[in-house]
Amino acid sequence: MKAICLKLHFPYAWVLEQYKNGNRTVVESALKKLQEYFAGKVTVIVSKDVQSLCLLVASEQEVSESEVLEQMKKEPLFGDENAQVEIEIKELDADQLKKLVSDVEKKLTDEEKDFFKDHFGVTIEKQEDILYIETEEDTSEKKEMSLDEFMQEMVGIAPLEDWVEKMTAIGKRHKAFAHQHRIAQAFSYVISINRGNGLSSILELMKYHMVKLEFLPKHADVIEHKLSFVDDVEDVRPIGSLLERMSESTVKGQVFEGIVAVALDEWLDHLYDKRLDILLDIMWKSRGKTVFVFTLPYVDDLVINKVCERVDDVLTVWKMRFAPVSDERYFDIFCKQLKKADIEADASVKNAFISKIIEEKNDGKFYGFNTVKKIVQEVLYHIVAEAAQQDRDIPKTITGEDFEHWYKIDADGGVSGLEQLAEMIGLHEVKEKIREILSTAKMQKNLYMQNKDAIKPCNHMMFAGSPGTGKTVVARIIGRIFKEEGLLSVGNFFEVSRQDFVGKFVGHTAPKTMEICRNAYGSVLFIDEAYLLAEDSGHGFGSEAIGTLIAAMENQRDDMVVIFAGYEDDLEKLFEDNAGLRDRIPHKIVFPNYNRDELKEIFFLQLRKGITVDDSFRVAADKFFAELPEALLQDRNFSNGRFVRNLAERMVSKAAMRYDMENVVPSEYKLTESDFSLAVADADYKRMFAKPEQKRNRIGF
């Protein structure tokens, strides 16, 4: 195995210029080309100020300095005269290379991974593409300070603080006891924590303290391993894969020294599988040098205790449970991370930041601290890029307006919720019903404020109607209206579905449901196609979610609005089978399908700003909507607003092709009758128009 070490140095001004020109992926492109050319793997080393970059390419073929230079000149990044290149070629055998990669990997932090990923678009995978931020050699004093910072940032850190205190006491008070390290290593751990809430950092903290207290050697390592489950009880490959990772991380013939964290997510319904007996027996024999940690998502105590009982048959167990992090706490961490770059976030950023967090949660791509770190790096990029483009100094403060601009978060522009509702097309009965509900809610709150013995106001609702009738938009507006009228303390909007509530194993559903409800306290929780909650796979998870949801709806009835949305008959069946739900939902709003004139009005609103239409286009549109079949308009599965939105998007797409072919300048963009005809004639659209799809679309309009 050959290893080529390429040292590259870039002036800071050059890096800013790349940002200015939008060349964020130029490094990624160059790395991929080098990997392909040398048929090897790349280790990336980059400094925190992005002023130097060092690549380690492990190649199986013989290469020379001239070959490297020749290949690099073919890439725009390396052919840049401002990118000064130094080349050093080292020959490393497989073991030396493995050790080098391992040494780099140990120094890698999640924050540093995110830095490189967010700035250059390269995803770093362990043992393949390894990123290492160059810093001065860590001193114990510096390390201790970083640990303290982490302890201050963590939420619900009490379990770890308790552990540190007791381990420190053992280390200090029993120094004279020859086997004091065995006392600490006798423990195994069960840790319950949600993804992205700091598990890796917790494990590193545990290792650091155990090394510091001499319970583990200085070369101790941490392994995180997800234990896969297969149905065949004779198949021990999941156990074998863990042992293989442990053997790869230590000297042959010796026991792994450090912390091994085993994720049991897939085994919680199979705790007495005999393969776990094999694993526990191996752990028993490895005690004294290896500390084992079993990790679970944030589940209820009953499940954690079952795991502890299973492990306690063989090993002494220490239980830790870390509560989910609140959005406010994420904002605190965001501010602290920015402050490290000497940038402050003023108070107006908070609401915009939380809106971004809610957006990440709603699309199912939220990873806790890692998402916050990603947002921090994106914000830093925007700050640097704008400063470079405008040739000004880096600002010391960002505002909510800055954040909304970068993330295209729609500000209300001073328009009230009631004004937004009034501006919606059609929905006359819906608007009247909401005004009635609002008046009732205000009266009930006033009565309760005067007499605490009165029943707390309850504003949960049922939104019944076909797809695309505006249920989601109205639900979002209700959050704003109720906030403005003092009926909700926060007024945010959370959209969820069955999969967000229901866990994958026993004991997971209730905590997931409670976390969703806790996030929505003071806000609107919108459950689309809510009747799917009643669907069960034999485990009773749906019923568990409904039961937990009912409790939260009752406990927070005066400061949370839960809206169940979907087809009317399906919702009625859900409430018929779950009387507890019906009793807690006093308001029902039916959303009718749009008529022809309303659909046409929505259609013209959907056309993008900056694009005009000629008279022939308007004539074609009038004819099209006037001739829409009544059967289509009344069909249960007709997608209403989504139907015309798709039409508008197709129309703009057809026009864009014509603009390109005819070299039309933006100032002359105009839709014509031919664009309309081409869109309607599109085969996919014609099928949709001729016969509405029978499959329900589950995305709210």
345 pLDDT more than 60: yes
Separation of alpha carbons 250 and 92, rounded Å: 19
602 pLDDT more than 60: yes
pLDDT of residue 535: 73
Regarding whether 97 and 34 lie in a shared domain, the answer is yes
For range 579-586, the mean pLDDT: 86
Regarding whether 434 and 542 lie in a shared domain, the answer is yes
pLDDT of residue 75: 63
Three-state secondary structure readout of 330-384: HHHHHHHHHHCCCCEECCCHHHHHHHHHHHHHHCCCCCCHHHHHHHHHHHHHHHH
How many domains is the chain built from?
5
Regarding whether 381 and 359 lie in a shared domain, the answer is yes
569 pLDDT more than 70: yes
Regarding whether 316 and 167 lie in a shared domain, the answer is yes
Q: Of 75-89, 115-129, 641-655, give the lowest mean pLDDT range.
A: 115-129
pLDDT in tens, 143-193: 443 445 555 555 456 788 788 888 887 776 555 444 555 666 678 899 998
Report how far Cα 522 is from the mean position of its chain's Cα atoms.
22
pLDDT tier at 18 (50, 70, 90 boundaries)? low
CA distances from 491 to 1, 256, 372, 473 (A): 60, 52, 22, 14
Residue 601 lies in a domain: yes
pLDDT tier at 588 (50, 70, 90 boundaries)? very high
Regarding whether 79 and 20 lie in a shared domain, the answer is yes
Task: Specify the pairing of strand 344-345 against strand 221-226.
Answer: unpaired
Regarding whether 127 and 47 lie in a shared domain, the answer is yes
pLDDT of residue 612: 78
pLDDT of residue 144: 43
pLDDT of residue 60: 56
Q: Kindly report the CATH number assigned to the domain that includes residue 174.
A: 3.40.50.300
Q: Kindly report the CATH number assigned to the domain that includes residue 623.
A: 1.10.8
Regarding whether 315 and 333 lie in a shared domain, the answer is no
pLDDT of residue 431: 93
Q: What is the mean pLDDT of the chain?
A: 75
For residues 58 and 15, the answer to whether their CB atoms sit within 8 Å is: no
Q: Could you give the percent of the chain with pLDDT greater than 90?
A: 9
Residue 620 lies in a domain: yes
What residue numbers bound the domain in which 682 lies? Answer: 596-690
Regarding whether 345 and 278 lie in a shared domain, the answer is no
pLDDT of residue 373: 85
Residue 648 lies in a domain: yes
Q: Which has more confidence, 633 or 79?
A: 633
DSSP annotation of 315 reads S
Regarding whether 48 and 110 lie in a shared domain, the answer is yes
pLDDT of residue 73: 66
Residue 142 lies in a domain: no
Residue 701 lies in a domain: no
Residue 147 lies in a domain: no
For residues 321 and 199, the answer to whether their CB atoms sit within 8 Å is: no
For residues 598 and 425, the answer to whether their CB atoms sit within 8 Å is: yes
pLDDT of residue 42: 47
For residues 565 and 475, the answer to whether their CB atoms sit within 8 Å is: yes
For residues 256 and 223, the answer to whether their CB atoms sit within 8 Å is: yes
pLDDT in tens, 383-422: 888 888 888 888 889 998 889 888 877 656 567 889 889 9
Among candidate residues 573, 591, 609, the one where a domain is terminated = 591
Regarding whether 432 and 508 lie in a shared domain, the answer is yes
Regarding whether 312 and 272 lie in a shared domain, the answer is yes
Separation of alpha carbons 275 and 447, rounded Å: 62
Q: What is the Cα Rg of the chain in Å?
A: 30
Q: Kindly report the CATH number assigned to the domain that includes residue 23.
A: 3.30.70
Regarding whether 343 and 281 lie in a shared domain, the answer is no
Among candidate residues 387, 407, 427, the one where a domain is terminated = 407
pLDDT of residue 609: 60
pLDDT of residue 693: 46
pLDDT in tens, 468-503: 888 999 999 999 999 889 898 888 888 888 888 877
pLDDT of residue 411: 59
Q: Which has more confidence, 260 or 358?
A: 260
For range 342-354, the mean pLDDT: 88
pLDDT in tens, 241-286: 888 888 877 665 577 888 999 999 888 888 888 899 988 888 888 8
335 pLDDT more than 60: yes
Among candidate residues 564, 591, 618, the one where a domain is terminated = 591
Residue 436 lies in a domain: yes
pLDDT of residue 622: 85
Separation of alpha carbons 337 and 41, rounded Å: 32
Residue 144 lies in a domain: no
Extract the tokens encoding 669. 């963009």
- Report the b/e string of 623-635 with b at 16+ CB within 10 A: ebbeebeeebbeb
For range 208-233, the mean pLDDT: 86
pLDDT of residue 700: 41
